[in-house]
Copies of this chain bind each other. A is one copy, B any other.
Amino acid sequence: MTQVRIHTQARRGAPPARVFRSPKHAAAKALPIDALLDPDLFKALCDPTRVKLLACLVKCARPCSVGEVGECCDVDLSVVSRHLAFLERAGILASIKKGRIVTYSVRSSDLCASLRDIADAIESCCPPGTCGSCSTSCGCLPVSDAQSTRTQGGRRVR
């Protein structure tokens, strides 16, 4: 599993936005966004129980033991242990073992940097207001050309 915050080359010095002829050509060209959009990082955050444990640790703002964290969730302690280990493997938590007690803490600097790196990498490809790929927020898309049959608001949107 990939550790958070391995790739930092996408920060402010990212290459300028470039338009490819087709998605196929775009996919063939490796850019920082490819490495930054790591499914393993998001996999760690896509389970409600894991997110609950993480939020609990974030809010507590100090290293906590497995048993302590387990108190804020309604699942077996073995499940808590597994989830915390999972989050550690993903680079989101760090653990210290002191005797029998294992305390987990959030690697907040690394996690925040990773999230911001991803945002930077996306914007380096699609700068707001210039890329034509953001429809609802900056109005780049030629909405008047469309037949106003956007799926947004239609059957698909819950």
Binding site for B on A (CB under 8 A): 1, 17-20, 22-24, 26-29, 31, 33-34, 37-39, 42-43, 45-48, 51-52, 54-64, 68-69, 71-73, 85, 88-89, 94-99, 102, 105-113, 115-116, 118-119, 121-123, 125-126, 128, 131-138, 141, 143, 145-147, 149-152, 156-158
Contact = CB atoms under 8 A, between A and B. Distances in A.
Contact of A151 (B24, B45, B97): B97
As for how many copies of this chain the complex holds, the number is 2
Nearest to A73: B27
Residue picked from A59, A69, A108, A122, most chain B C-beta under 10 Å:
A59
Residue picked from A38, A68, A72, most chain B C-beta under 10 Å:
A72
Contact of A33 (B59, B116, B134): B59
Contacts of A102: 151
